[in-house]
Amino acid sequence: MILILAEKPIAGARIATILSSGRARKKTYRKHPYWEFELNGRPAVLVPLKGHIIDVDFLPELNRWSEDTLSTLPDAPLEHVVTERTVASLLKSLAPKVEEIIIATDADREGEAIGLESAELVMKYARREIPLRRAYFSALTKRDILSAFENLREPKRALAESAFTRREIDLIWGAALTRAISLYSNRRGKAFLSIGRVQSPTLAIIVEREREIERFVPIPYWTIDATLAFSGEKFSARYAEGQIWQEPMAQMLYKTAKAAKQGTVTRVELRQDKIPRPVPFDTTTFLREANKHLGLPTSEALKIAESLYMKGLISYPRTDNQTYPPSLGFRGILNKLKSVKNYAPFAEELLQQDVFRPSSGRKADDHPPIHPVDVSKGKLSEKERKVYDLIARRFLATLMAPGTLERRNVHININGVPFVAEGRRITQKGWTAVYPVSLRESAVPPLSDGDRVDVVSLKLAKSQTKPPSRYSEGELVKRMEALGLGTKSTRAEIIAKLFARKYISGRKAIKPTELGRKLVEVLERYAPELATPNMTAELEKALDAIAAGEKTKQDVFSVSADRLKSVLNELSQHKSEIRQSLGDEGGAAA
């Protein structure tokens, strides 16, 4: 019997249906679904997992929060515990008959780890080695699944080892630091304080931006705006030098121009600019755009994308790649999009091309960029529909022609004071016809050198320079990526944790709460490594090195444990100061 391991029930159902040409028989084991069918003339059983069915934890004697055990946590042994007992029991019942195992979980670090740990559990139950193969795919489509099963490969054990290492290090760091800061501040029970190697420097980024805003000293400046007219057509112009930093100069220029009834066109500049196409969606870019255009929290946007992937509508949504592979099958995707009214005109136009030349960005040895693979034949929720629409339109935009923007700058002399009227007009829509873009058009009459224009009105306005803006969720994800904080799969989750812990507030303009700010101040003072991205970024590189086979798990664990001991030692030397800064004032002790 062939045992196929899928990641979740909805993905399992699709894979079983495709491999069996719709003849798979659905069964249940204690309400958990699985499917039986024939694969290449052999009996096969597909069991969907529930993500990780095995977790890691400290030994029971170390689960009690006390200062006595803190110093032992960095080197503490961990035990592997079956958390999904029903799935494990089903695998145990099948193990004696299993002759081959095929892992068909998501093709990333976590998917590799989920599949391998489950396959090894089956071998443990069977008490023997079982041939093990891997099906790699980037979309739950018939084409991708059949191709993956026709070209089975060896599992990437180093990739899984990297995921196992991350999970165990995150457990140890999170538990040790959270217990230390909570115990030292006497905030226990529901009032405990959570810190970690990624969420703490991320919180520090937000706090530092708030400080920049508070430190900012606005500088006043003045602008002069003119309403002009030519042959009865009104248009706007502005003092050509822009901001004026001295009020006497601004008043002088304003009075000089105001004394004139007309101005003279001295020069007309006409330029055609390309509007570059957007690059294909990697995970970070997708999350930023979903947050910007749809107003979705990044964690929710990723969950919706995962749901669309499981339904076979889009490719795998966790990727660092911004370059389509030549084998993507553009024509097939466009033929499917052609059946949807909103996309039909664009898809039909693109299908007239003999060759597709998409835009491209960063190239990574990863899944292809996020793109549609099918159109919905069932009902989607409103949010699912909007996310799918954004992904479909982005895909079309990457294949369409660049837009063209005509810029017409008209320079006008008003009593010796230079003004400029800026006209912007999209002359060729290209990709901007299908994808949202922030381009404001402004009209300027067809003026020529020497033309006279009427001065309708002038306005002198005082303004101030603005402080840096607070991060939106999309901008924060981008900043985390730039600093090496977290991964494409975890950044949205980290931000969601900061909101859940009430360390930050505000979705479109994130600011730290008083508690979040105090926590960062304590870390900066007594454990500065936790308030900067350097250490976390170094660990991410080390985890990548494990995945590449350049380091071992023990190499990374040894360095990690030494770092953690150093941080815990720093915190323990400042217990009273931490209590004074973060203490619960007697209300949170358990």
Residues annotated catalytic, as ranges:
316
Non-local CB neighbours of 341 within 8 Å, separated by 6+ positions:
none
Non-local CB neighbours of 393 within 8 Å, separated by 6+ positions:
343, 434, 435, 436
CB 23 within 8 A of CB 64: no
CA–CA separation, 182 vs 193, rounded Å? 5
Q: Which of 177, 180, 107, 173 is nearest to 144 (CA)?
A: 107
One-letter amino acid identity for 324? Y
Q: Name the CA radius of gyration of the chain, rounded.
A: 30
Task: Give DSSP secondary structure letters for 303-337.
Answer: HHHHHHHHTTSB--S-----S--TTS-HHHHHHHH
CA–CA separation, 532 vs 536, rounded Å? 8
Chain centroid, CA 586 distance in Å? 40
CA–CA separation, 410 vs 87, rounded Å? 72
Exposed e or buried b per residue across 509-526, where buried means at least 16 C-beta atoms within 10 angstroms of its C-beta = ebbbbeebbbbbebbeeb
Classified as helix, coil or strand, 225 is strand
Task: Enter the tokens of residue 548.
Answer: 């590449």
CB 17 within 8 A of CB 37: no
